[in-house]
Amino acid sequence: KNATQVILESIKSDAKSLAVLIDPDKMSIEHVEGFINMVNTSIATHIFVGGSEVGEGVTEALVIEIKKYTKLPVILFPGDVIQITDKADGILFLSLISGRNPEYLIGKHVEAVSKLKQTNLKVMPCGYILIENGKETSVERVSQTKPLKRNDIQNIVDTAKAGELLGMKLIYLEAGSGATHPVEPEIISKVKRELNITLIVGGGIRSKTELESAYKAGANLVVIGTAFEEDEAFFDNLQK
Ligand code: 1GP
C-alpha cells in the first residue's frame, strides 16, 4: 500500500486515526529523528505538518527529514501558500468556513493552484471550522476571523453541513493550537450525527481521556500537537 492509498482509506473509513502535528516553526531538523521514532512506536496513523507562521523553505526541509524515518503518510496542514511542497504525500486544502475573510475562503486557494499543479500531492478539500475556546488563537489572529460560538451548536452543525454540501471531503473542528478547552464532545457528536463525511477534531487535546472522548463522540481523526511539544512523555500513554 502506498501512502496515497492509506490517506484515501483513512478518509473513507470509520477508523479512529491520530495525527501528530508538527509545527515547522517549533521543530528543529536535529530533533526530527528522535521525535519521529517516538511517533513510530505510538498509535499515530498520520503526520501533519504546518503552522500559522512559517518561513519560506522551512516546511520542505522538515518534510524531507521526516520522510527519512517514517512510512506514515505526511500531510500538509498549511497556514499559507508558501508551505506547499511536493515532498509530502497530501495536503489539506482548507477553507476557513467559520470565517468571512475571502482570502481564507478562496483567495489563498486560487494562489495555490499554480504551485499544486507542479506537485503530485493528494489534495483533500476540507472545511475548517474554528470554535471559540476562551482565548484568542493564532488562527484567529492570522486569519482575522472570529470563531463560532461554542454554545451555538446549531450554527456549528449547519456550517459543517454546508461544507459537505459544497463537496468538501473532510470537516475539521478546530479549537486552536494550545486551546485551553478542546472541542466539546457534545459539539462533536451533534456535528457527526448530521455529517456523511470524515470528521477531524483538534486543538487543546492533552490527555488520553480527552482523546478517547473525542473518538467516542464521533471524531474519525484527532490531531494533537502541543501536548507532544510540551512533554514527549505523552507518547508513553499512546503506545501501540
Ligand atoms: C492545531 O488542532 C491542532 O491546529 C492541534 O492543536 O496543538 O492544541 O494539539 P494542539
pLDDT digits (tens, 9 = 90+) for 4-17: 555 656 666 667 89
Q: Which three cell numbers stand for residue 91?
A: 495536503
Query: Which residue's CA lies nearest to atom 5 of ligand 1?
Result: 203
For CA atoms 31, 37, 40, 41, the dihedral sign is negative
> What is the phi-psi region of residue 134: left when phi exceeds 0, alpha when psi lies from -120 to 50, beta otherwise?
left
pLDDT for the residue numbered 2: 55
Ligand 1: centre distance to CA 174 (Å): 8
Ligand 1: centre distance to CA 23 (Å): 10
The residue segments making up the domain with residue 137 are 3-238
pTM of the model: 0.96
116-151 CB burial, b ≥16 within 10 A, e <16:
beeeebbebbbbbbbbbbeeebebbeebebebbebe
Q: Give the chain's domain count.
A: 1
Ligand 1 and 52: CB distance under 6 A: no
User: Do residues 84 and 116 touch, judged by C-beta distance below 8 A?
Assistant: yes
Place of cell 521525535: 35
What CATH number does the domain containing 26 carry?
3.20.20.390
Choose between 134 and 199: higher pLDDT.
199
Cβ neighbours for 118, distance < 8 A, ≥ 6 positions apart:
86
Ligand 1 and 204: CB distance under 6 A: yes
How does residue 118 score in pLDDT terms, banded at 50, 70 and 90? very high
